[in-house]
Amino acid sequence: MSLISKLLYSWHYIRKNYHEELLDSCLDRKLKEQLHSKFKYHQYKLEQLSTKRAW
């Protein structure tokens, strides 16, 4: 795995966890929807990178 791939994986992993923590403590419905969207995006990117790693 290249250095850039490792950095991308780490970035999405950190951001996913960050948004997950914010989501757990958020009370505002509109903000919670935005956080959930960001969480899902980073989770999706991690899944994509994980399948590329298998190659």
Give 18-48 pLDDT, tens digit per residue.
999 999 999 999 999 999 999 999 999 999 9
Q: Is the pLDDT of residue 54 over 90?
A: no
pLDDT of residue 55: 53
Number of domains observed in the structure of the chain: 1
For the record, the structure tokens of 5 come out as 């791939």
CB 13 within 8 A of CB 47: no
pLDDT of residue 52: 79
